[in-house]
Structure 1
Amino acid sequence: MRHFERFACIDWSGATGAFQPGIAVAVCERGGPPALVQSQGQHWSREEVLHWLPEQGDCLIGFDFSASLPFVDAHAFFPGWSESPPDARTLWALVDRIASDEPNLGANRFVDHPEASRYFRRHGGRTGDRFGHGIGRMRVIESAARTAGVTPTSSFNLVGASQVGKASLTAMRLLHQLGGRVPVWPFDPVPESGPLMVELYTSLAARAAGVPKGRSKLRDAQSLDAALAALGDPPHAALARYDDHITDAMIGAAWLRRAAGNEALWHPTALTPSLARTEGWTFGLS
């Protein structure tokens, strides 16, 4: 099993704009608490994260977004559309190509595309005729996550505070533009050295840190230290400010360091080669 020297967690954002208060980056070494990584400016941009990732050396990096869309339920990402990709990497390329003239790795051009928009629920009561019913289509791992106390939403739903679709689509542009410089599990094999990215749920990390469901948004030093202590970490160095993006990233990095040594999490029984090419998997769920 691969051993890493450093562990990082990135709380991602799909909001419009060049700089994102919702992006937070935390890193921890093998011994010691996680530390917040400051951006070059007041806030991180998605492009700054894109350039930061390949420089991280022997680091396991967790991202709180969905790296793909549902495929298994309909045998396609976009059933009925001739451009529907056969696998996740081609999906990332499609999203990036259609949104290529949008700055800041934005993905609004993609969800407003005449064909792509038919599969999404958007603001203003605009539900595409191919969105489906109820909460929307789910990946295999998203359906399974509900038994683990996590309640993911469909990435085809772009409405509501809990939606992750916009963040996931902007992340697909980032993944495509990385061009393989940072492998992404399970779409890529685990490399012998260098950085590796995995998808994770910061809410799952919060549960492991003893944070009760429904109260996972920590915004103060005392609560953060209590969560880190539950993961076996010492207190963190005091920060100038606290918000739930920062604490999510720091708890996520500490949890990832502990979870990375669990062999079973790298080999989920339900993760087939087909799933690994199309929908992917969320690290931490077996």
Structure 2
Amino acid sequence: MVDAPRFRHFAGIDWSGAVGERQKGIRVALCTNGNSAPALVRPKHIWSRAEVLDWIMHDLPPDTLVGLDLGTALPFFDRSGYFPEWTQSPPDARALWALVDRICAGDPHLSATSFVDHPDASRHFRRHGGRVGDLFPPGRGRWRLAEHAQAALGLSPVSNLNLVGAAQVGKSSLTGMRMLHRLSGAIPIWPFDRDPGHGSVVLEIYTTLAAREAGVRAGRSKLRDTAALNDALAGLGSEPVPDDGTIDDHSSDALLSAAWLRVAAARPELWHPSALTPEVARIEGWTFGAP
């Protein structure tokens, strides 16, 4: 069990899987214990994925709980494999991260284009241009057990194998796996690693879940004005951020997620979801906050 009070800092990271070095969709926010307002890290900076990795590895404040808005693995248990019919389909999440990183070794900026277009992997994806792999099932696509838990909360998760649409998180997840592969062994990644009881921990979050728990109504989770963000922060017991009027939704997602982690980390049941067995933890991972 994680001793939540030991965390002194909480970071929310809105990630991006888009092509290119620097992404306006990447935002990093940080808050401390107590109720002080979260703040953006390097607020005027346009981050690259490599810079976020470097920040986590070298500049992370002590004892930080880091929430990444991406999927840390792909569906497995519904079909007894990540990529059925592919002989290289890996047995667990760490092997999946390594596979994605190996195939994408020539892709710059921690991008994952080579994996998206790989002839065996692409059979399982829904891609742009109406390209749907022959092993991508009709309808909503495949879900992990964590996505089923999200749906049980009334949320609307999207398959990590879907790479199309504003709500898709597939590309973010694949690029994030390249970062996780590099973080593996350097910092504990929940629930794949046991918590050592000290230091920092990285985990997967779903920003819509944070917004819902902050009192934001369904369908309004993308906050684009400071007043709405501060109303949500107040729902989490946080002081407001400076009222600058409009704010982009990537920044508000990161700020709200940091404040939500500060509250959620103290709830023991969130560290022990009923469906999170050791096997599930090793293979599919979990979304922190899903029951």
Secondary structure at the residue paired with 1:8?
strand
Q: Which residue of structure 1 lines up, in the alignment, with residue 37 of structure 2? A: 33
Deviating more after overlay: 219-228 vs 5-14:
219-228
Secondary structure at the residue paired with 2:110?
coil
Q: 1:7 aligns with which of 6, 10, 19?
A: 10
Structure 2: distance between partners of 1:60 and 1:12: 16
1:46 corresponds to 2:46: no
1:22 corresponds to 2:20: no
Alpha-carbon shift at residue 191 of structure 1 (Å): 2.1
Q: Which residue of structure 1 lines up, in the alignment, with residue 70 of structure 2? A: 65
1:133 corresponds to 2:146: no
Q: Which residue of structure 2 lines up, in the alignment, with residue 88 of structure 1? A: 93
On the 8 A contact 1:118/1:129 being kept in 2, the answer is yes
Secondary structure at the residue paired with 2:216?
coil
Alignment of structure 1 residues 192-271 onto 2, 5 Å: 192-238=197-243, 242-271=247-276
On the 8 A contact 2:81/2:91 being kept in 1, the answer is yes
TM-score (norm 1): 0.96
The one-letter code matched in structure 1 to 2:234 is A
Q: Which residue of structure 1 lines up, in the alignment, with residue 180 of structure 2? A: 175
Structure 1: distance between partners of 2:156 and 2:12: 20
On the 8 A contact 2:225/2:245 being kept in 1, the answer is no
On the 8 A contact 2:30/2:39 being kept in 1, the answer is yes
The one-letter code matched in structure 1 to 2:98 is A
Secondary structure at the residue paired with 2:247?
coil
On the 8 A contact 1:35/1:237 being kept in 2, the answer is no
On the 8 A contact 1:136/1:156 being kept in 2, the answer is yes
1:100 corresponds to 2:95: no
On the 8 A contact 2:37/2:241 being kept in 1, the answer is yes
Secondary structure at the residue paired with 1:104?
helix
On the 8 A contact 1:225/1:236 being kept in 2, the answer is yes
Alpha-carbon shift at residue 117 of structure 1 (Å): 0.9
On the 8 A contact 2:163/2:171 being kept in 1, the answer is yes
Alpha-carbon shift at residue 237 of structure 1 (Å): 3.3
Secondary structure at the residue paired with 1:10?
strand
Q: Which residue of structure 2 lines up, in the alignment, with residue 275 of structure 1? A: 280
Alignment of structure 1 residues 151-170 onto 2, 5 Å: 151-170=156-175
TM-score (norm 2): 0.95
Alpha-carbon shift at residue 42 of structure 1 (Å): 3.2
Structure 1: distance between partners of 2:185 and 2:24: 27
Structure 1: distance between partners of 2:118 and 2:107: 13
Alpha-carbon shift at residue 269 of structure 1 (Å): 1.3
Give the RMSD, CA atoms, in angstroms. Answer: 1.4
The one-letter code matched in structure 2 to 1:43 is I
Structure 2: distance between partners of 1:73 and 1:228: 37
Alpha-carbon shift at residue 179 of structure 1 (Å): 3.4
On the 8 A contact 1:221/1:238 being kept in 2, the answer is yes
Give identity over the alignment, percent.
56
Deviating more after overlay: 213-222 vs 84-93:
213-222
Q: What are the ranges of 5 or more consecutive residues in structure 2 without an aligned counterpart?
A: none
Alpha-carbon shift at residue 239 of structure 1 (Å): 5.4
1:39-63 CA-to-partner distances (Å, cap 9, x unmatched) read 6x73010000000012322100011
Aligned length: 285
1:110-146 CA-to-partner distances (Å, cap 9, x unmatched) read 0101111111111111111111222111101101211
On the 8 A contact 2:142/2:159 being kept in 1, the answer is yes
On the 8 A contact 1:58/1:195 being kept in 2, the answer is yes
Alpha-carbon shift at residue 240 of structure 1 (Å): 8.8
1:130-166 CA-to-partner distances (Å, cap 9, x unmatched) read 1122211110110121110211111111111111100
Alpha-carbon shift at residue 245 of structure 1 (Å): 0.4
Secondary structure at the residue paired with 2:202?
strand
